[in-house]
């Protein structure tokens, strides 16, 4: 697998040129329960309960006494939301570990460097889910080690906000948010029009609240020097229409319900058109969540980790993976696919013994170590 430790400069150069669990069957649920989120809530509770039962029989260092419980943003008290946001702001002031990458000025920037190097290998590939799981863990560790954060990575249940993203507690611009929308720009380009989506309600620099003074240092991917220093404001373009089309409670519920195995589940998550089951899903929930935020760098496939909302969006992706796995744990510990995006260029199938090397940010890990959230380097569940 791709190793960052010895190849980040090469990547830059390329850019520049078993416990018992309740078995799960995809039983029919009413359309009303799918659309309201009740079915998803039921799935989530079953998965949580199953994971906690596994902890009872686990011989790992992760126990019921020390397991972290990741929660949805609106279910976290205001003071804890502020503590999380301040830890992110702290990380934006710490030095980068990549002195040879011109645009990497901070420890927060380092996550974009990591993501850029791995992007062609960990999207629409066998390691999409395990890479991002380890990516979030690495981020959480940095918040803890460098900024004294004692909480967990929250997640954002997109479907709760599709009616009006601007009023989401995540993006309402209050002190307990991750900042507001961007300034409204009329007649701006709408790349999502090809999918029939309406334009967003922002497009410019964040106009109020946290991160309104944040400086993006790297990207965009289409620039002459993507990993060079290119300071600018962070822009957002919140889009309720994209959320309703691709990241609704129904979209999310059906992704979990209809994922018959890991290959189909990850195809449904990403709208992988190579699969009949996913061919009509457009951007699906993964792309839908990203482009619900949009803007620069949020809408940049490579540099999106420079958008603070990225981590809550991918917290939701990891949560869906957790839920799906723990509905039928005995049968859902595998991977499927090759080591390149859309298998281009063609590459061999990845195995559980292959590795992801995050050095110098985190040690190399075998993929099999990244499957379970309550073993290996992990000790968390999702509420």
At 381 the pLDDT is: 98
Residue 27 lies in a domain: no
d(Cα 243, Cα 256) in Å, to the nearest integer?
A: 17
pLDDT in tens, 261-308: 999 999 999 999 999 999 999 999 999 999 999 999 999 999 999 999
At 58 the pLDDT is: 80
SS3 111: helix
Residue 26 lies in a domain: no
SS3 118: helix
The set of residues, in sequence order, having a beta carbon less than 8 Å from that of 105 and lying 6+ positions away, is 95, 96, 217, 229
Average pLDDT value for the chain: 93
At 16 the pLDDT is: 39
At 27 the pLDDT is: 62
Question: Domain count of the chain?
Answer: 1
At 25 the pLDDT is: 54
Token readout for 50 is 């199953």
SS3 77: coil
Residue 40 lies in a domain: yes
SS3 172: coil
At 60 the pLDDT is: 83
Strand (E) or helix (H) holding 133: helix 128-147
- CATH, residue 356: 1.10.1280.10
Domain range enclosing 199? 8-18+35-382
Q: String of b and e for 261-293 (b: at least 16 CB within 10 Å)? A: ebbbbbbbbbbbeeeeebeebbbbbbbbbbbbb
pTM of the model: 0.93
Contact 275, 267 (CB under 8 A): yes
Q: Are strands 380-382 and 68-70 parallel, antiparallel or unpaired?
A: parallel
Contact 110, 118 (CB under 8 A): no
Residues of the chain with pLDDT under 70: 1-27
Token readout for 286 is 């993964």
Contact 350, 336 (CB under 8 A): no
Longest dimension (CA), the chain: 59
């Amino acid at each position: 697998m791709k190793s960052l430790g010895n190849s980040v400069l090469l990547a830059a150069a390329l850019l520049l040129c078993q416990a018992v669990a309740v078995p799960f069957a995809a039983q029919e649920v009413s359309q009303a329960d799918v659309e309201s989120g009740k079915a998803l809530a039921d799935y989530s509770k079953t998965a949580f309960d199953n994971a906690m039962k596994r902890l009872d029989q686990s011989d790992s260092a992760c126990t019921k006494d020390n397991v972290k419980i990741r929660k949805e943003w609106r279910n976290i008290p205001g003071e804890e939301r502020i503590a999380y946001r301040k830890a992110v702001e702290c990380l934006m002031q710490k030095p980068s570990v990549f002195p040879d990458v011109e645009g990497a000025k901070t420890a927060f920037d380092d996550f974009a460097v990591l993501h850029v190097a791995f992007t062609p290998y960990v999207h629409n590939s066998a390691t999409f889910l395990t890479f991002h799981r380890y990516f979030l863990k690495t981020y959480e560790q940095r918040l803890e080690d460098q900024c004294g954060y004692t909480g967990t990575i929250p997640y954002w249940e997109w479907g709760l906000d599709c009616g009006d993203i601007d009023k989401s507690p995540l993006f309402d611009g209050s002190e307990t948010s991750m900042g507001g929308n961007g300034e409204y720009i009329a007649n701006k380009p709408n790349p999502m029009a090809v999918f029939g989506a309406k334009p967003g309600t922002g497009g410019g620099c964040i106009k109020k609240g946290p991160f309104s003074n944040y400086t993006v240092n790297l990207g965009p991917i289409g620039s002459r020097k993507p990993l060079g220093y290119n300071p600018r404001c962070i822009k957002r373009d919140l889009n309720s229409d994209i959320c309703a089309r691709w990241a609704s409670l129904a979209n999310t519920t059906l992704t979990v319900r209809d994922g018959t195995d890991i290959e189909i589940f990850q195809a449904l998550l990403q709208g992988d058109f190579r699969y009949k089951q996913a061919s009509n899903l457009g951007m699906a929930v993964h792309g839908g969540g990203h482009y619900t935020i949009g803007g620069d760098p949020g809408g940049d496939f490579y540099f999106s980790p420079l958008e603070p909302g990225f981590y809550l969006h991918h917290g939701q992706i990891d949560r869906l993976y957790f839920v799906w796995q723990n509905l039928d744990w005995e049968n859902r510990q595998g991977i499927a696919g090759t080591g390149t995006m859309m298998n281009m260029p063609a590459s061999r199938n990845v195995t559980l013994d292959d590795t992801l090397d995050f050095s110098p940010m985190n040690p190399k890990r075998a993929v099999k170590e990244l499957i379970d959230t309550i073993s290996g380097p992990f000790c968390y569940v999702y509420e």
